[in-house]
Structures are given as C-alpha cells and as structure tokens.
Amino acid sequence: MNSPFENLPPISVTPELLQQAREYANKHHVSMWLALLHLTKFEARKLLSILGQYCEMPVMETMEMQVNVPAFDLLPLNRAMQKQCLILRDQHHALFAVISDPFDPDVQIWLGSIAKSAIQFRLALSTDIQAFLSRQEESTRTTDSLANTSTSELTEKRESKAATRLSFESVSEAASPAVKLVNATLYDALKAGASDIHLESTSHGLSVKYRIDGVLDHITSTTGVVDAEQVISRLKVLAELDISERRVPQDGSFCIEVNDREIDLRLSIMPSIHGEDAVIRILDKRAMVEAYGALSLEALGFDAASLVTLRMLTEEPYGMLLVTGPTGSGKTTTLYAALSEINSGREKIITIEDPVEYQLPGILQYQSMKKKD
C-alpha cells in the first residue's frame, strides 16, 4: 500500500516557508515544528529528514540511539523525560545531544551548558526520544528493584500477592467450573483486545459480552442460575468484596498476571432482576507502550490533519478541550498521549482521575475520592 505522501512534490526549506511558519506559529500558539507540519502536509518522519538536511543535523532513529550510552550523569533520566531530549556518548566518548525541535534555541543552549564541552546535535522524532527514555526508565526501575530487594523479600512479596493475582499458564488447571469460566473469560478477552467484559445474569444463566473498539459483542452464554451466582461470587472474592451482599452495587479491583505482565482490572457489581451483573474494566497500562515504544498521539492512528489539529489544541495556553465518545473508544488513552507530548517540565500539570490508568512521569495525578454518605 503506497503512502499518501509519496505523490506530493518535494519541498525545500526557504525563507518564505519559514516566515509563513513563524506567522502561523505565533497566531496559533504552536511550535515551529507543528506549524511546518501543518503547512507542508508532510508525514512527520519525512519532514524531519528535510529539516535535518537544512539545519545540518543528522537524523537519528531509535535503533541508532540504542547503540550509544545515555549520559545520565550530565542529564538525569527524569530531567531528560521532562525536556524530551537526551545526551548520548558514543564508543569514543564523544557527546551529542538528541532533540526534536531544531527551532528551539533555548534547549540547544541549555544542553550545551550542561555538557560543558564540545557537543554535536542530532534530530529525532519526539516519539522516538520518548520510546528510548521509556525503555531506559523501565530498565532502571528493574535494576533498582533487584538491587534493593533480597531474595527472601521477593519471595515474600510474591506470596503476599498470590491471593489477588492470577496466572494463565494453563486455564484448564482450575478445578471449579466457576473459576475455570472466570479464568477462560479473562484470558480470551485479553487476547481479543477487549476493553471491558460484561457478565449479565439472565433467567437461564449468564451472558458474556466483550467490548472491542467501542462495540459490545456477545461472546457466549452459559446455563444454570447457580453457576452464574458462583461466577459473580468468584469475582467478588478476587476483588475482596462482600459476597453476602446482593442488594446494593459494589466496586472493587484486582490484579492478574499474563506473560509475566501485571494487568489491573476494575470490577463493578450491579443488582438486576435476575441476580447480579458484573462489568470488568481492563486497565492494561503497558499494552500501548509495549506495542509502539511510547504513548503518543501518532501511535493511536489519527490521520495527519487530525493529528495537527489535536496538537494545536493541546498547546493552547488556556481554554477547555473535550474528548468525547462511547466506552472503550480511546478517550482516556488519547488524553494520556496528549499529556505525554506536552509535558516539557516547564508547566505544572495536575490530573483528576477515576481511576488512574497510566502513570505519567513528571505529572501529578490525583485519584478522585467518591463522596461517602
């Protein structure tokens, strides 16, 4: 399949184009990079290549970053993630800085002052920089955890979480039909990429539905009212809810483990005329990051025009941006990706969430508390 940008005429960076970009950037309060992206209608990676030639800054891909050593002694990891740039050392100990916006002289001067020696500059997409830093952060956390935790402590932690964590190495190992159905339902939902699981009690048993890409699909049905009650009770046990209470709604959460990755699940129980219904929200925090290397708007599949418009809106100095859509359509993920991109460390960003689904470095995330009667 050909790219929609392949048939566009080649462009060159001219004083006239830069002047148009400056006027557009000032008018809409966006960066020069976004202004050029909008005016040229080019795909981001191709535009970066053109700007690299114009600014005489070689473009660096993620794989090229990985063969060098990050200079976190000069620019710490947390600061690099805030500024969305980094300093690397090659095998000859030469320093070079990787930036995403060649028209931001403040960042270049700041990085030069940190290096305190000769430093070369490279260009990279902000998403590639973020992907590299995210991998470094994950590696650092793992190393710190192993360094600060003894073998006995690790064993104790595993045992303490065993009651609230499931392993799906073999779904068929469960002896109870209710446990087996819960395990199989969760396992299949994760493989299908579902965002929610609906378990609805009927007059004959239980109906199982998955929400995939915002659409609720019926998966299967089971017969037996008693079996349906046992499935709901099993979920209550996992979420540490009151299994004897069947007249009022209940909310809880639990954690499962799939392929050595922990996934949080949020459970809502609602009484109905045939018993109780359960809705399980799957909060897979690492799925997007692992799939694309970083949580970014580009990874979500927006077309070029929508991507430019959305980025312009997120960089406005004031106002309100509403993201609406049905359950499971990607509202929260879109907002998280936008926050990740605008978080430069220069502003204070506070979120109020219920629940906090992704942990964003450098952002204060507040878990809203429900008012108690």
SS (H, E, C) 72-92: CCCCCHHHHHHHCCEEEECCC
Helix or strand run (H / E) with residue 244: none
Q: 113-136 as b/e, with b when 16 or more CB fall inside 10 Å? A: ebbeeebebbbbbbbbbbbbbbbb
Q: Show the domain range for 178.
A: 164-283
Answer whether residue 150 is part of any domain: no
Both 248 and 233 in one domain: the answer is: yes
User: How far is 129 from 294, CA to CA, in rounded Å?
Assistant: 9
Residue 151 has pLDDT above 50, yes or no: no
Domain boundary among 250, 283, 316: 283
Answer whether residue 158 is part of any domain: no
Average pLDDT over residues 17-26: 89
Entry pTM: 0.49
Both 322 and 235 in one domain: the answer is: no
What percent of the chain is predicted at pLDDT more than 90?
Answer: 16
Both 78 and 102 in one domain: the answer is: yes
Helix or strand run (H / E) with residue 143: helix 126-148
pLDDT at 317: 82
Residue 114 has pLDDT above 80, yes or no: yes
**Among 50-59, 127-136, 202-211, 230-239, the least confident range:** 127-136
Both 52 and 82 in one domain: the answer is: yes
Both 205 and 300 in one domain: the answer is: no
CA 318 to chain centre: 25
Both 34 and 100 in one domain: the answer is: yes
Query: Nearest CA to 117 among 71, 77, 82?
Result: 71
Strand locations in 259-323 (E): 261-272, 275-283
User: How far is 126 from 286, CA to CA, in rounded Å?
Assistant: 19
CA dihedral sign of residues 77, 80, 84, 88:
negative
Tokens 């073999």 locate to: 170
Both 270 and 179 in one domain: the answer is: yes
pLDDT at 144: 47
Answer whether residue 7 is part of any domain: no
Going by pLDDT thresholds of 50, 70 and 90, the confidence category of residue 94 is confident
- Which residues lie closer than 8 Å to 67 by C-beta, 6 or more apart? none
Going by pLDDT thresholds of 50, 70 and 90, the confidence category of residue 236 is very high
Total of domains in the chain: 3
